Amino acid sequence: MIDRLIDIFINKPGIYSGSGRIAVVKTPDAVLDGAEIRDIFVTEGVGTGEFTLRNTKVTGTIYVNGGSLVTIAAGATVNKIEVSGNNVEVVVNGKVDTITVNASNVSISGEGDLATVFVESGTGNSVTVSGANVIVAEGAGQVDRSNGDIEQREEDREESAPGSTIPGWPIKPPPIVSPPITDPYEICTIDEIELIDDIPGVDSRTFGGKTQL
């Protein structure tokens, strides 16, 4: 039953091709060339050997469980790579959107196009692909960026609105400052009035022709 779910089964060194949903790699020194596949499982059977993608499109995820070398050659495109095994080396010379690391001593290098690396756990990891955005989760070890790029701690990362590339979104409006409340008695204060005619019942004192109440 399980065999029926596997479209490409790589159990001997050599060059393979084809298309489908799932490929399983259980041997070192294998190449998947000119294929289109959804998910690839690189098992511990690869050992310390190498698995290479050439001119291949992976629309889903490559799951790397062994301590192997995985090479994404020029011309290959991968949506996502998830590394859960220690001592793995990933060489990106093609195009990879996302790599997630939950392991230690993982090396990610190459001269290809790598958008984002999420380091969720582990120590001794390194990312030297130029231009890659590296986000390190709280509690994960320091990531070596020997190419001079700066890693970004997850707790320091600013949220962005969906579909927006503006950092710090949403922008907070400036605080509203209410005008000071004026003493109503000051508004109604009458310093002096000039009486034209006598006002019955008003006891006034006149100074210089003006009357103060």
Of 39-48, 84-93, 100-109, 161-170, give the lowest mean pLDDT range.
161-170
Q: Is the pLDDT of residue 109 over 60?
A: yes
Q: Is the pLDDT of residue 158 over 60?
A: no
Euclidean distance between CA atoms 7 and 41, whole angstroms? 12
Euclidean distance between CA atoms 183 and 188, whole angstroms? 9
Q: What is the Cβ-side half-sphere exposure of residue 110, based on CA atoms within 13 angstroms?
A: 21
The predicted pLDDT at position 162 comes to 46
**Would the pTM of this model clear 0.75, i.e. be above it?**
no
| Angle 18-19-21 from CA coordinates, rounded to 5° | 140
Average pLDDT over residues 10-17: 96
Of 43-52, 121-130, 157-166, 189-198, give the lowest mean pLDDT range.
157-166
The predicted pLDDT at position 163 comes to 46
Domain boundary assignment for the chain: 2-156
Q: Is the pLDDT of residue 29 over 70?
A: yes
What is the average pLDDT score of the chain?
A: 81
Q: Retrieve residue 110's tokens.
A: 């190459």
Q: Retrieve residue 61's tokens.
A: 């995820």
Q: What is the DSSP string of the chain?
A: -HHHH-SEEE-SSEEE--EEEEEEE-SSSEEEES-EEEEEEE-GGGTTSEEEEES-EEEEEEEE-SS-EEEE-TT-EEEEEEE-SSS-EEEESSEEEEEEEESSS-EEE-SSEEEEEEEEE-SS-EE--TT-EEEE-TTPPP-B-TTS---EEGGGPPP--TT---TTPSPPPPPPPPPPPPPHHHHT----B--SS--TT---EEETTEEE-
